[in-house]
Structure 1
Amino acid sequence: MSASPLSARGLCKTFRADGRAITALSDLTLTLTPGVVTGLIGPDGAGKTTFMRLAAGLLVPDAGSATVLGLDVARDPLAVQSSIGYMPQRFGLYEDLSVNENLDLYADLQGVPCAARPARYDELMAMTGLAPFRDRLAGRLSGGMKQKLGLACTLVNPPRLLLLDEPTVGVDPVSRRELWAIVYRLVSEQAMSVLLSTAYLDEAERCAEVILLHQGQVVAHGPPGQFSAPLTGRTFRVTGAPTRRRRLQATLARQPGVLDAVLQGESVRVVMAPGQRPDCTALSQTLGEPVRGDAVPPRFEDGFVTLLQGERREIPIPQVRVTPSFRGDAILVRDLSRRFGQFLAVQRVSFAVRPGEVFGLLGANGAGKTTTFRMLCGLLPPSSGEVRVAGVDLRHAAARARGRIGYMSQRFSLYANLSARQNLSFFARAYGLTGARAAARLDWALDAFDLQDLAGMESGALPLGYQQRLAMAAALMHEPDILFLDEPTSGVDPLARREFWTRINALAEGGVTVLVTTHFMEEAEYCDRLAIMAAGEILAIGTPSEIKAQAPRPDGEPESEMTMETAFIALIQARDQPE
C-alpha cells in the first residue's frame, strides 16, 4: 500500500477574536487513505476549513505536525502548495476575464509550460462540459458552471492530492452530480487522492471514507456504513394525517427515547434510543387520529445526528399566532414574466400559495427562481403579469405589501459591525416599531432565537448558524404575514439546518406563510407544496409525493425509492431531452 497523501499528528490551532481565544483544532490526528475520495464533515466551527488551510500550508499550527505527499507542511509550505490542488469555499475566479483567460492566469501561477496548455485545456473543458463557453466571461456563467471552472483552474497542473472545501454549496442538484462525476473520474483515471468537505450528508455518503470533526477533534473516521450500521432497528417512519404532519413531528420530538424527528414527505422519520420504539398508541390519543410506525433502514444522516446528540438541547421555539390581514391566497401569481433586454428570464409563471403554507421554489442554477423570488418580494418589477402578495397588487402598491412581509436573503445582509442587539433595534425602527412595542419585540427575538448570550457581539463575528438565526429574527421583528427565505441554510451544517426548520415549522403552525428557495433536496421534503422551475417556466407543482409521482423513473425502480433529488434531476433531464 502506498504512503498516505496526508497525515496529521497532534494538530492544534487557536484564533483570537474580540478578546476571546477560539480553539479551532485540538490535538487532531488522522491519516488519509490514498487514491480515494475522503469526506470531511462536522457542525459549523468544527475545524474543517482550518484543517484544510493548515494542510495547504496557508496557516501555521500552534502545535503538532502535518505531512503532505511526504513533505513537512510547516517546514516547506511552498513545495506543498506547488504539489497539491486546493479549491477554497469562495474560489477566486476573475469575472471580467473569459473562461480561457482564467485558465491562462492559473496556468501562469502554477508554472504550466505554454506548449502543454492546449491539450490540458481541451481535456479540462471536455471533462467539465465548458468547451462551448471558452470565450464567455466568467461573470456570465451560472453558479454550477463557475464551480466547474474553479475546479478546472485548480486542475490546470494535475495534482496528486486535491483539497476541496465545500465545492457544491449553493449549486443545484444537477450541477452537483456533474461535479461529483468529475471528481470520481479524477480518482479512477489519475489515481488522485481527494479530501472534500461538504455540508451535504448525501455527498458524504458517496465517499469511500468519512471523517467527522467536532470541536476540533476527530469523532469518527471510517466508511459511511460504519456510521449508520449501529442504528439498525432504531429508525422508523411514523405516519399520521398528512395535513397535520408538523404537529406530529413536534409531538414526537418530545417523546422519551426520541433522538431525532424530521419531516420526510408526508411522514416523520424518527431515530430512537437503543431498545425503544415510537409510542404510536400515545401519539394517536394525543393527536386524535390513527398513527402508525414502520421500521426503515438507517441512513448515514441518522448516524451523523446520533453521534452528535451529546450536544442536543431544547430549541427555543418562536411563539407566534398570526391572523392574516388579507382574504384569499397569501401569494397569487398569474402569467408572470420578466425580461432583461432580449432575454426572457421568467415566462408566464402562475401559482398560488395558501395562508400558513410552506411553499418551496426549486430550480437549477439559471432556471429563473431567484428572479421570480425577487419579483414576489417587490424587489424587482415584473415585465408583465399579475402578482398579489398579502392581498396587495405589487405592481401598484409594492411599499404597502413590503410592510406585511419579512425577507431573509441568501447572503448575510445585516450590518456586520453592529452587535446582534443593535441590528435588531435598527430593523425594529426600519419597520416603524418604537417605544415599548420595539423593546418587547427585541426581547422576543433574543429569547425565541437563543441570542441573549451573544446580543453584544458584533454580528460579523458570530458563527454562521447564529448569523442565520439573527437574520431570521430581524425579518420577523414586525410580525409579518409572509416570510420569504432565499436559500436560508446554504452552507449551514445539518444540525443548524434542523434547528432552522424547527423554527420555520413553528411559524407555519402559527399561521405565517413561508416561501423558501433551496438547493437542499431533503429540505424540499419539509415543504407543503413545491414548484420546480426550468428555463423560466414551471416544470412541476404539487406536494413532495406528487412531484415524485410526476417524475419519470427507470424501468423496475419502485416509487418508494424515489428521492426528491432523483425526482428533480429526472424532471430536468426529461425536459432537456430532444423529442
Structure 2
Amino acid sequence: MSSEGAIRLHGVEKRFPGMDKPAVARLDAEIRAGGVTGLVGPDGAGKTTLMRMLAGLLRPDEGQAEVLGLDPIADVNALHALLGYMPQKFGLYEDLTVMENLTLYADLRSVTGEARITTFERLLEFTALGPFTDRLAGKLSGGMKQKLGLACTLVGTPKVLLLDEPGVGVDPISRRELWQMVHELAGGGMLILWSTSYLDEAEQCRSVLLMNEGELLFQGAPTELTRQMAGRSFLATSPTIHNRALLQQALKLPQVSDAMIQGRSVRLILTRNSDPAQLRAVPGLTDLVLRDTTPRFEDAFIDLLGGAGTSESPLGAILHTVEGNPEETVIEARQLTKKFGDFAATDRVDFTVQRGEIFGLLGPNGAGKSTTFKMMCGLLTPTAGKALVLDLDLKTSSGKARQHLGYMAQKFSLYGNLTVAQNLRFFSGVYGLRGQAQNDKIARMSKAFGLDTIADQPTDALPLGFKQRLALVCALMHEPDILFLDEPTSGVDPLTRREFWLHINSMVEKGVTVMVTTHFMDEAEYCDRIGLVYHGKLIASGTPDDLKAQAATREDDDPTMEQAFITLIHRWDKEHAA
C-alpha cells in the first residue's frame, strides 16, 4: 500500500539509557489522513517519544518510520515543509504579541508577501484571535494560548499535524473549540495525530493507538473497544453508605475492576464474567442499588490496563482525625471582590464550605476562579469583602490561619534542582517540623508513598505522576485541617488521577476539608458541592447532580458534568447578552 497520505511504522523501537523497558517497543502501525487519530496512554506510555521520532527529533534504535513516504531523519528538510508539530510546552514567546508570534513563525517557515497576508487572515478568523492581535501572548488565557500555538503550527499549511497533549490545562469550552478546529482541518484532508491522556478526547477520534509502557495494546475505532464493556458498567448507590465509603469498599472487591465517584453514585466496572448479584452478597452491601449505565472509552481503557490498581490510600493509617462539628463552616467568602484597575476579576462572591467537605471551584480560563481561589488561601489580598478560614480573616490573621492550611499548586511548587528527600526536608521545615519528629514524618510518608526508593533523584527528572505524589506529600507534612488544591491533576493520566483521589477521599474521611479547582469534569464529580465561576461571579452552585439537573433539557435529561458546565455558561451568556 502506498505511503502517500499516511504515516507508516515498521518495527519502530526506541530505548533510553538506564531504562529497563524500551520507551517505544517494536511498533507496527499505519495512520491515514481524513480523520483525527488519537495517541492515547498514561504517563510513560511512549506517546511523546513516538511524536518526536515522527518529527525527526529522535532517531529510532530499530525499525523505520515513514511520514508521507519520507524518512523523518534522512529527509528532514523535505519533511519540515510538510509537517507541523506542536509539543506539550509549545514555544510561544510570552513577551511578544499574538501578531508578533505569528510573524516570527511565518519568518521561520519563509511565508512572505501576499501568501503571509492571506495566511494570517485565514488563521486569525479560524482561531477567533482577530480581536487580540495586539495582546501579549503571556496575557492570554490557557485556551487562547493553545489556539495561538495551533495557529503558529499551521503557518505554512502543513499536510501532517502532530499535536502533543494540546488539551492539558484548557477548560471544556476551549477544548471543544480546539476540537472543532481540528475536525475541520482533518475534514480538509490533513493527517492529524492528537496525543492525549484525556479519555473523553479519545472518544472524538476516528481511530486510536492505545499504548502503555511503550507497547501498543489496541489500534482501531474507540467504539470498537468500548463495545467490549457491554453489561459491565453500573452506577451503584446505597441508602446507608456515603459514596466515598462505598468507593473505598468497592475497590477492594475482586469482582470490581475500577470504581470512581459520579455525583451521588459510584461508577463500577466489573471484571469479565462477574455477576452483579455477587456484590449484594458482600456483608454490608446487601442494600446496594445497581443500575446499568452506558460504557465509556475510559472504562475500556482502565480495564485493558488491568484495572485501577490502587485500592486503598496509606493516609488513613497516618493522618490524625480532625476534631470538630461536621456542620461547622470552616471556609467562607463574603462579598469577595478583587479588582485590577477597573476590571473585577472576582465580583462579590459568596459561598461557605463545611468541615469534611470537598468544595470545587469550576470555570473557564480567565473566568476568575483562580483569583478567587488565591484569595481564599491567602495568596492574594481582596479589594473588598472577606476571605475567612476557621473564622480568621486572611487579610489580618493570615499567619495564624496558615498553620491549619496545606496548599498544592497547579505547577507543583517543588524545587526541581533538589532531590526528593531535600524537598521533603525543606517543606517539612517550612511547616515547623524539627529534629526526630521531622525525621520520623519524612520516613513514614516516604515509605507510604513509595518515595523512599527515589529519595536521591532530582525532582526535575521524575515522571509527572511522581511529582504530583511528592507535591501532595509536601503539602501534608504538618497534617493540615484544610487542604487547597489548584488543578492538582492537570496533565496526569487516569490511573494517576484515581490514585490521587483515593488519597483525598481518605483524608476527607478523617475530617480534612478540601477546596479544589479543576478543568477536568469527571474530577468535579468527586466534589460534595461545586461553585461555577464566570465573569468573576458565582453563577451556579450545588452538588454535581444539582448542576446537571439545572442544565438538563427535554432533549438531554441526563447531561454529563461537561455538558452541564458548557450549558450553564452558554445560558448565562444568552441571559446577559445585553
TM-score range, shorter chain: over 0.9
What's 1:204 paired with?
Answer: 202
Unmatched tracts of structure 1, length 5 or more: none
Distance in 2 of aligned mates of 1:106 and 1:390: 51
CA distance in 2 between counterparts of 1:575 and 1:463 reads: 40
- Counterpart code for 2:131: P
- Whether contact under 8 Å (1:144, 1:175) holds in the other structure is yes
The corresponding residue for 1:424 is 424
The residue type paired with residue 482 of structure 2 is I
TM-superposed deviation, 1:164? 0.4
For residues 191-243 of structure 1, the C-alpha deviation after alignment (integer angstroms, 9 at most, x for no partner) is 11100001210110010001111111211100001211111111111111497
SS of the counterpart of 2:13?
A: strand
Q: Give the deviation of 1:324 after TM superposition.
A: 4.4
Q: Percent identity?
A: 50
CA contact (8 A) 1:160 1:193 kept: yes
Instruction: Note the 1:510-549 alignment, pairs <5 A.
Output: 510-549=510-549
- 2:126 and 2:497 map into 1 onto residues whose CA distance is 33
1:575 has 2:576 as partner = no
Q: Are 1:462 and 2:462 an aligned pair?
A: yes
Match of 2:250 in 1: 252
C-alpha distance in structure 2 between counterparts of 1:498 and 1:485, whole Å: 15
- Does residue 11 (structure 1) correspond to residue 12 (structure 2)? The answer is yes
1:417-452 Cα offsets, whole Å, 9 max, x none, are 222122111111111111222122112311332222
Output the TM-score relative to the length of structure 2: 0.95
What is the CA deviation profile of residues 83-126 of structure 1, one whole-angstrom value per residue up to 9, with x for unaligned ones? Answer: 11111111111122221111111111111132111211111111
For the 8 Å contact 1:324–1:481, the answer to whether it is kept is no
CA distance in 2, matches of 1:449, 1:325: 28
- Would the alpha carbon gap of residues 97 and 313 (structure 1) be closer, same or farther in structure 2, given more than 3 Å must change? closer
Deviation track 1:366-405 (CA, whole Å, cap 9, x = no partner) reads 0111111111111111111111113321111101111110
SS at match of 2:81: helix
2:293 matched to which residue of 1? Answer: 296
Moved more, 444-453 or 399-408: 444-453
Distance 2:492 2:427 in 1: 24
Distance in 1 separating the partners of 2:337 and 2:19? 51
Partner of 2:214: 216
Equivalent of 1:305, from 302, 305, 316?
A: 302
Q: Within 2, Cα distance between the matches of 1:452 and 1:316?
A: 17
Number of residue-to-residue matches in the alignment: 571
* Alignment partner, residue 478 of structure 1: 478
Post-superposition Cα deviations, 1:328-351, rounded to whole Å, max 9, x if no partner, equal 311011000011122211010010
Displacement of 1:453: 1.8
The 3-state SS of whatever aligns with 1:256 is coil
TM-superposed CA distance for 1:310, in Å, is: 7.0
Amino acid at match of 2:183: Y
Please state whether the residue corresponding to 1:7 is helix, strand or coil: strand
Question: Shift in Å at residue 323 of structure 1?
Answer: 2.0
Q: Which range moved further: 449-458 or 507-516?
A: 449-458
Q: Is the 8 A contact 1:325 1:481 kept in 2?
A: no
Question: SS in structure 2 opposite 1:35?
Answer: coil
Q: Distance in 1 between matches of 2:525 and 2:224?
A: 26
User: How has the CA–CA distance of structure 1 residues 527 and 280 changed in structure 2, closer, same or farther, with 3 Å as cutoff?
Assistant: same
Match of 1:236 in 2: 234
Q: Distance in 1 between matches of 2:312 and 2:390?
A: 30
Q: After alignment, is 467-476 or 390-399 more displaced? A: 390-399
**Match of 2:457, SS?**
coil
CA RMSD of aligned residues (A): 1.8
CA distance in 2, matches of 1:20, 1:213: 17
Aligned twin of 2:173: 174
Unaligned segments of structure 2, at least 5 residues: none
SS at match of 1:516: strand
Contact kept in structure 2, 1:42 and 1:213, CA below 8 Å: yes
Please, what TM-score do these two structures have when normalized by structure 1?
A: 0.95
- Kindly tell me: are residues 202 and 310 of structure 1, through their superposed partners in 2, closer, same or farther at Cα, counting changes over 3 Å? closer
| Change over 3 Å in CA distance of 1:137–1:181 after alignment to 2 | same
CA distance in 1, matches of 2:322, 2:365: 36
SS at match of 1:23: coil
Q: Give distance in 1, aligned partners of 2:552 and 2:346.
A: 25
**Larger mean Cα displacement after TM superposition, 514-523 or 432-441:** 432-441
Asked if the contact 2:489–2:497 (Cα under 8 Å) also holds between the matched residues in 1, the reply is yes
2:38 corresponding residue in structure 1: 39
Question: 1:88, 1:165 within 8 Å by CA — same for their partners in 2?
Answer: yes
The 3 A distance-change label for structure 1 pair 483 and 150 is same
Q: Find the counterpart in structure 2 of residue 53 from structure 1.
A: 52
2:79 counterpart letter in structure 1: V
Residues 1:325 and 1:298: Cα distance change in structure 2 (over 3 Å): closer
In 2, Cα distance between equivalents of 1:358 and 1:76: 54
Q: Which residue of 2 aligns with 1:389?
A: 389
Cα deviation, residue 487, structure 1: 0.5
Of 172-181 and 325-334, the range deviating more from structure 2: 325-334
Deviation at 1:21, TM superposition (A): 6.1
